[in-house]
Amino acid sequence: MIRFDQVSFTYPDAAAPTLVEVDFTVPEGELCLVVGETGSGKSTLLRAVNGLVPRFSGGLLTGVVSVGGRSTAQVPPRELADVVGMVGQDPAAGFVTDVVEDELAHVMENLGVAPDVMRRRVEDVLDLLGLHDLRSRPLSTLSGGQQQRVAIGAVLTAGPRVLVLDEPTSALDPAAAEEVLAAITRLVHDLGITVLMAEHRLERVVQYADSVVFVPGDGAPVVIGDPSGVLAGSTVVPPVIELGRLAGWSPLPLSVRDARRAAAGLRERLLPLRPPTTPVATDGGLVAEVCGLHATYGSVVALDGIDLEVHAGEVMALMGRNGAGKSTLLNHLVGLRAPQRGAVRVLGAEPHRQSAREVIRAAGLVPQDNGVLLYHDTVAAECVAADRDADLAPGTTRAVLDRLVPGVDQRAHPRDLSEGQRLALALAIVLGAEPALVLLDEPTRGLDYAAKQRLITMLRTLAAEGRAVVLATHDVEVVAAVAHRAVVLADGEVVADGDARDVVVHSPVFAPQIAKVLAPETWMNVDEVREALAALEERS
């Protein structure tokens, strides 16, 4: 169904090609997962499937990309819409209407689909993705995860034979991600639709994949094969595979179920030890406090009497379903919204009453749409402007960027960066000003495991320096690695607040993979298991 025949591609003015002699085939009715490090060329490969590369990106493409027997070099993207549907990393960027139901119908209107067929397909997609309650909602009022589901639904209504999905679960909470992946799996197995999907959170998706394409970057050849075979030698692996490598399991597990079946001996070995404790860091001074905070969007209640304190030296994970109020709370803490009722104070001041220069020294926010922080033509110009605006020493912002994602081309336009690189640039702009309160809204979206680890190291450093960090995230593996404290929101209220280990391990939704594999003991991540096994070796 999808065929790459000796495909190479070089962006305009690039010193080296992004893709080199890519050669693989994805049969009809197969779910193929594309993996690789941030900036390796995964998104470029996906955009080549419907001809966006090179028709809209520019650059030189050699070789042949064909879909359903049609060459993308000979057929423009608009004439492939009935064959290929694509959802990019930023779903909102593709919206062309204002209301959910209109967005679902838009592609079909352009294709000339009969009205009765349109109505039936819209209802089918509303059922498939659980969007019924949102059908009349303005798109601008949706959370990031809700927007992602609408974007996928808008593609599905056209009835394509191939779906190309770039990070489809990146903005979804764990439960919503499972719903979307279950729907995608049904499309593959029940309807024979071919899916090509790039995803960094492999712990969510790898068990559903029929094959994996590993894009190593740096001009190295692309590797394709069955998931366990390809990932066995990959640097990009989910926690269960990392645990399997540590324990010496063969074959390597792809799911929690596979890992639990192999882990009986490991659980027995770990019985003499107890998982480490991670006390909530409340010994630091009070950085921010929220008292009786209420917020609404029209008739929708976003926050309903929130009381919260944030202390220096703690990393607090803010968790909950899409639409639970996490982003709204962060916006109040940085002064983007004024309280309707209640109070918000950061370092004793009300942020919505302060000037922008005062706020960035007290609290810095990287929003889900990190592009709102980027407005220059090159990475270098962004870094220089950030240093100037925050009165920082020249080179400060660039140094932070290199700690997060080394080697980003300073001449590149921010919109030409991968999602992970663009996020890292936005993070660097905020962190360079060294605010006392660091607010991150889904900061790991688009980051590979190596980049996540660098971010985790940086967050630990910030906490050790006495900064307070509030991390709104659906990434339970990052919470397991770095959070001291977890706060769970539901329907605008705090339903859990305490030690991160206690909050997430006992939740079937928010528990990390290692906790599920090694339950009932409360091990959180592979590093804890590695250190425990090393301690056992020393004893013996």
* DSSP, residue by residue, 428-454: HHHHTT--SEEEEESTTTT--HHHHHH
Q: Quick check: 142 and 150 in contact, CB under 8 A?
A: yes
Is the domain of 309 the same as that of 226? no
CATH, residue 85: 3.40.50.300
Is the domain of 132 the same as that of 46? yes
Q: How many domains does the chain have?
A: 2
Look at residues 277, 321, 377, 390 and name the one whose alpha carbon lies nearest to residue 130.
321
Residue 395 has a pLDDT of 93
Report the pLDDT averaged over residues 434-438: 92
Tell whether the model's pLDDT for residue 321 goes beyond 80: yes
Q: pLDDT tens digits for 87-133?
A: 877 778 889 999 999 999 998 888 888 999 999 999 998 988 888 88
Is the domain of 354 the same as that of 233? no
Q: What average pLDDT is seen over the chain?
A: 89
This prediction's pTM: 0.83
Q: Which whole-number Å values give the CA distances from 242 to 248, 271, 490, 518, in the listed order?
A: 10, 20, 32, 14
Rounded-to-integer distance, Cα 355 and Cα 163, Å:
46
Express as a percent the part of the chain with pLDDT over 70.
Answer: 98
Express as a percent the part of the chain with pLDDT over 90.
Answer: 51
Cα 177 from chain centre: 11
Domain housing 155: 2-245
Is the domain of 238 the same as that of 367? no
DSSP string covering 348-361: TB-GGGS-HHHHHH
Tell whether the model's pLDDT for residue 479 goes beyond 60: yes
Is the domain of 237 the same as that of 306? no
Q: pLDDT tens digits for 41-76?
A: 898 999 999 899 998 888 999 999 999 888 888 888
Q: Which residues of 96-124 are buried (b: 16+ CB within 10 A; e: fewer)?
A: eeebbbbbbbbbbeeeebeeeebeebbee
Query: What contacts 55, CB < 8 A, 6 or more positions away?
Result: 76, 77
Is the domain of 14 the same as that of 158? yes
Is the domain of 457 the same as that of 377? yes
Residue 255 lies in a domain: no
Residue 465 has a pLDDT of 86
Residue 322 lies in a domain: yes
Tell whether the model's pLDDT for residue 189 goes beyond 60: yes
Is the domain of 240 the same as that of 387? no
